[in-house]
Structure 1
């Protein structure tokens, strides 16, 4: 649990977990700016994918230095539609990386995933794969696809970049994993 403000040392890093609906316009704007600074290829659709779920926010001295979100998606696997906690928009300001902020945000989101979803999933850049593997996320080794308006379409460009966090659903890491449709990057 996150300490209350009176329990935190002055100037300490503060982690806050909140639903999109609870965040004010200024906080959402700061999170969006942070992610655009962290990711060179960030798009409006990428930002939209981070909305509608729970956000883990890291503040230091009142300034936002880290953001991560978990949103609900449906993934199809082994003939079942699974409720998935899908992780989006994980980023820490460049000058604050390597200090445990990403791990602290993921601790909060993984607790939500374990308690509320059939599995967790995320798409990881090559440089982040080791971070997630060390946390217990497993590389999906089977084929990936998306349930598009034109039916199920393979997404081979995502193969080797998808990671899952097992919770309650039995998973065959060699089997097919199909995500629900959305604009922009489907995974």
Structure 2
């Protein structure tokens, strides 16, 4: 197994195509162009076995407003493992590398998890955010009740302490905000 961590700017066009193909297959074609765009501009973890891409994840910077403070947040995107390589530890390998990036560069980690992915994140110490979730939309703050219960946070050593009674408002972006 070969694991590489690299910024989007360091990935060749062919590597980005491999990542997109992996994501399309892993999400059964339910990975939109906007979803791929959300995964770019930060750090990627690529795991290869015998030269073939078998797992991926990325972390991008987001701003999260909490208790009137804008937090530099490492937001995890596009975590996927090839279907024929699942349950072999590749997801843990990807997350360990992403958490290392978050721990060095951010005060908070966050992600939105599917039901299928939730177990991985919980097993690594990520926690479901118990409070309200929102976004800072072009029209002002908007609550996102559909994201409550599927948004996870992780505080790296030396990171920020969150007030669970407070709301997390994520910066706006096109497509799915979270």
Interval of TM-score (by shorter of Structure 1 and Structure 2)? over 0.9
Alignment partner of 1:152: what SS? Answer: strand
1:133 aligns with 2:122: yes
1:172 is displaced (CA, Å) by 1.6
TM-score by length of 2: 0.96
1:35 aligns with 2:26: no
> Aligned partners of 1:125 and 1:154: how far apart in 2?
20
Name 2:163's counterpart in structure 1. 172
Among candidates 161, 169, 175, match of residue 184 of structure 1: 175
- Runs (4 or more) in structure 1 with deviation over 3 Å come to none
1:133 is displaced (CA, Å) by 0.9
Name 1:55's counterpart in structure 2. 44
1:111 is displaced (CA, Å) by 0.8
Among candidates 23, 43, 50, match of residue 11 of structure 2: 23
Among candidates 130, 133, 139, match of residue 144 of structure 1: 133
1:84 is displaced (CA, Å) by 0.3
Structure 1's unaligned 5+ residue stretches are 1-12
Q: Is the 8 A contact 1:140 1:174 kept in 2?
A: no
> Aligned partners of 1:73 and 1:173: how far apart in 2?
19
Name 1:162's counterpart in structure 2. 151
TM-score by length of 1: 0.92
> Aligned partners of 2:138 and 2:131: how far apart in 1?
23
Deviations 1:95-153 (CA, angstroms, capped at 9, x unpaired): 00111111001111101111110100000011211211110101101010010100001
1:174 is displaced (CA, Å) by 3.2
Structure 2's unaligned 5+ residue stretches are none
Deviations 1:54-87 (CA, angstroms, capped at 9, x unpaired): 0000111111111100000000001100000000
Q: Is the 8 A contact 1:45 1:184 kept in 2?
A: yes
Number of equivalent positions: 175
1:173 is displaced (CA, Å) by 2.5
What RMSD, in angstroms, separates the aligned Cα atoms of the two structures?
0.8
Larger Rg: 1
Within 5 A, what are the aligned runs for 1:79-94?
79-94=68-83
